C-alpha cells in the first residue's frame, strides 16, 4: 500500500494504492465521514486488482471545497471523473461503501462508458427524499447556511480519545475505528481535530424521490454485485434493497452477517464475494 496524490483541475485528491501493475483497475469510494483507510482490511484478500482507495473531497487528506461551494452529488461525480482522468484510466471498476456506494452507482449510470463493473457494500443508489419532508429539509438547509459552520471544532487531547468517540458513534471495534481515526485527524494546539470538512454535516437542501432513484438505477449498464449486512441500518432495509435491485439490468446481491462496516470488521467473507467479480 502506498500513498499517492492526484492533481486534478478540481483540487488535489489523496489516495492509497495497492496491487500489481496491469491488474484490473478498481477505484474504491468510502462512506460519509470515513476515508480511504476504510478499505485497508480488505487488501490482503483482494490480491488480483489494482486498487486505488480515494479520500473523497472534504475527507482524509483530499482537498476541501472552496468557500461557498457545496458537497452535492453532481460535484462528487465530477471528482470521480477527474480521478479516472488523473489515473489515466479510460475505463475501470468501482467499489463503494455507503455514501461511496451511492456515488459509484450514480457515476455508473451517468458515465456507463467508463465503468466496467460495480461492486457495492451497504448501498444501492442514494438516499431518497421522504414524502412530506421536502419543505422542512429546505428550510433547515437554508437556516444552517446562514450562520458560521465549523468555527469551534472539537479538540481531542489524544488520538485514543478520538478512537473512543468514533467507536461510540458508529459501533465500530477499536481496530476498525483506529484505522479511520489515524487517517482522519490532524494535530492542532492542544490536541487533535477531525480533518473532515465541517460542511459535510450540513443538511442537503434537496433529495431525489424514490422514482427518480430507480430511473437512475435502470440506467446502469454494467454488472452489479451488492453486499448487504444482516444488521443494515433502517434506511437500507431488505424491502428497499430488493425493489432497487429489480431495477438493474444485471445485478446480484448477498446478505452477510455483520453491521454497516462489515467490510472492516469481517473483511474475509466480504472479499470472498467480491474478489472474482472485481478481478473479472
Q: Could you tell me if 15 and 52 are in contact, meaning their C-beta atoms sit under 8 angstroms apart?
A: yes
> Angle of helix 99-110 relative to helix 73-87, nearest 10 degrees?
70
Q: What is the CA angle 120-77-272, rounded to 5?
A: 15
**SS percent in the chain: helix, strand, coil, step 5:** 40, 20, 35
The length of the chain, given as a count of residues: 280
Query: Which of the following is catalytic: 98, 173, 196, 232?
Result: 98
Q: Could you tell me if 105 and 217 are in contact, meaning their C-beta atoms sit under 8 angstroms apart?
A: yes
How far apart are the C-alpha atoms of 232 and 209, rounded to whole Å? 21
How far apart are the C-alpha atoms of 24 and 225, rounded to whole Å? 16
**3-class secondary-structure state, position 229:** strand
DSSP string, 128-145: PPPTT-HHHHHHHHHHHH
| Region label for 39, one of left (φ > 0), alpha (ψ between -120 and 50) or beta (otherwise) | alpha
Annotated catalytic residue 98: yes
Q: Which residues are catalytic?
A: 98
Amino acid at each position: 500500500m502506498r500513498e499517492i496524490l492526484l492533481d486534478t483541475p478540481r483540487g488535489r485528491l489523496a489516495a492509497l494504492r495497492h496491487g500489481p501493475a496491469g491488474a484490473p483497475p478498481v477505484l474504491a469510494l468510502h462512506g460519509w465521514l470515513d476515508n480511504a483507510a476504510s478499505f485497508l482490511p480488505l487488501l490482503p484478500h483482494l490480491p488480483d486488482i489494482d486498487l486505488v482507495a480515494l479520500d473523497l473531497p472534504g475527507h482524509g487528506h483530499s482537498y476541501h471545497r472552496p468557500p461557498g461551494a457545496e458537497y452535492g452529488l453532481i460535484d462528487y461525480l465530477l471528482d470521480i471523473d477527474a480521478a479516472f482522468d488523473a489515473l489515466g484510466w479510460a475505463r475501470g471498476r468501482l467499489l463503494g461503501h455507503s455514501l461511496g456506494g451511492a456515488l459509484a452507482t450514480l457515476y455508473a449510470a451517468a458515465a456507463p462508458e467508463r465503468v466496467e463493473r460495480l461492486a457495492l457494500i451497504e448501498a444501492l443508489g442514494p438516499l431518497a427524499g421522504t414524502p412530506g419532508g421536502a419543505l422542512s429539509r429546505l428550510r433547515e438547509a437554508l437556516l444552517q447556511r446562514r450562520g458560521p459552520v465549523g468555527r469551534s471544532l472539537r479538540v481531542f487531547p489524544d488520538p485514543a480519545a478520538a478512537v473512543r468517540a468514533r467507536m461510540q458513534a458508529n459501533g465500530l471495534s477499536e481496530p476498525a475505528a483506529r484505522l479511520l481515526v489515524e487517517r482522519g485527524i490532524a494535530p492542532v494546539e492542544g490536541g487533535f481535530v477531525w480533518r473532515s470538512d465541517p460542511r459535510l454535516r450540513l443538511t442537503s437542501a434537496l433529495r431525489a424521490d424514490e422514482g427518480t432513484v430507480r430511473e437512475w438505477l435502470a440506467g446502469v449498464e454494467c454488472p452489479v454485485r451488492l453486499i448487504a449486512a444482516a444488521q443494515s441500518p433502517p434506511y437500507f432495509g431488505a424491502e428497499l434493497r430488493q425493489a432497487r435491485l429489480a431495477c438493474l439490468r444485471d445485478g446480484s446481491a448477498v446478505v452477510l452477517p455483520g453491521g454497516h462496516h462489515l467490510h472492516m470488521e469481517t473483511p474475509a467473507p466480504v472479499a470472498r464475494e467480491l474478489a472474482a467479480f472485481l478481478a473479472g
